[in-house]
Chains A and B, each alone.
Chain A
Amino acid sequence: MSTVISVENVSKLYRLGEIGTGSLSHDVNRWWHKVRGKEDPYLKIGQSNDRTSTGGSDYVYALKDVSFEVKQGEVLGIIGRNGAGKSTLLKILSRVTTPTTGEIKAKGRIASLLEVGTGFHPELSGRDNIYLNGAILGMRKHEIARKFDEIVEFSGCDRYIDTPVKRYSSGMYVRLAFAVAAHLESEILIVDEVLAVGDAEFQQKCLGKMRDVAGQGRSILFVSHNMGAVLQLTTSGIVLADGRLAFSGSAEDAVDYYSSKCRPDGMLYEVEHKKRAWTGSQAVKIISLSFPGTSPIFAHGETIVFSAKLRAQTNVNPCRLSLTVFKSDGTPVGSCFGEECIPIKNRETLHAEVRMKNFPLAPGYYYMGVAVGRGNHLDGNVDFDVVMDVLNFEVQAPMSSENTSSSWSHGWGSIIFPTIETIPHS
Chain B
Amino acid sequence: MPSSLQSLDPRPPSPDSPALEDHWSLTIKPHTKWWDLRLADVWNYRDLLWLFVRRDFVSVYKQTVLGPLWFFIQPLLTTLVFTIIFSSVAKMSTDGHPAMLFYLAGTTPWNYFATCLTKTSNTFVQNASIFGKVYFPRLIVPLSIVSSTIIQFGIQFLLFLGFLAYFLIIGTDINPHWGLIVILTPALILLMAALGLGAGIIVSSLTTKYRDFTFLIAFGVQLMMYATPVIFPMSSIPEKWRWIIQLNPMSAPIEAFRAVFLGGPIPWSSLGISTAMTAALLLVGVIIFNKVEKSFMDTV
Contact = CB atoms under 8 A, between A and B. Distances in A.
Residues of B contacting A: mostly? loop
B130 A209 contact: no
B48 interface: yes
B30 A95 contact: no
A270 interface: no
Contacts of B55: 121, 124, 128, 132
A279 to B, nearest CB: 30
Nearest to A120: B130
Given A94-B134, A94-B135, A96-B133, A187 B13 contact: yes
Interface string B178-217: 0000000000000000000000000000000111000000
Contacts of A14: 298
Interface stretch (B20-28, B96-104, B116-124): B20-28
Interface stretch (B3-11, B67-75, B107-115, B148-156): B3-11
A98 B29 contact: yes
B119 to A, nearest CB: 17
Contact of B21 (A2, A15, A103): A2
Interface stretch (A109-117, A258-266, A305-313, A370-378): A109-117
Contacts of A107: 20, 23-26
Nearest to A94: B135
B136 interface: yes
Interface residues of A, number: 65
A216 B7 contact: yes
Given A19-B299, A91-B297, A123-B62, A217 B13 contact: yes
A216 B9 contact: yes
A97 interface: yes
Interface residues of B, number: 51
B2 interface: yes
A305 to B, nearest CB: 47
A190 B41 CA distance: 20
B294 interface: yes
Contact of B130 (A94, A99, A136): A136
A183 B133 CA distance: 18
B134 A136 contact: yes
Given A96-B133, A115-B133, A212-B5, A106 B295 contact: no
Contacts of A119: 130, 134
A191 interface: no
A104 B29 CA distance: 7
B15 interface: yes
A101 interface: yes
Given A95-B135, A114-B133, A132-B51, A218 B25 contact: no
A422 B52 CA distance: 67
A105 B26 CA distance: 6
A135 to B, nearest CB: 4
A270 to B, nearest CB: 33
Contacts of A15: 298
Q: Which 5 A-B pairs have the closest CB atoms?
A: A215-B1, A95-B135, A135-B48, A104-B28, A216-B12
Given A2-B20, A115-B133, A150-B8, 15 more contacts: A19-B209, A96-B134, A97-B294, A98-B295, A103-B28, A107-B23, A114-B133, A124-B55, A124-B59, A131-B51, A141-B47, A141-B51, A211-B1, A212-B3, A212-B5
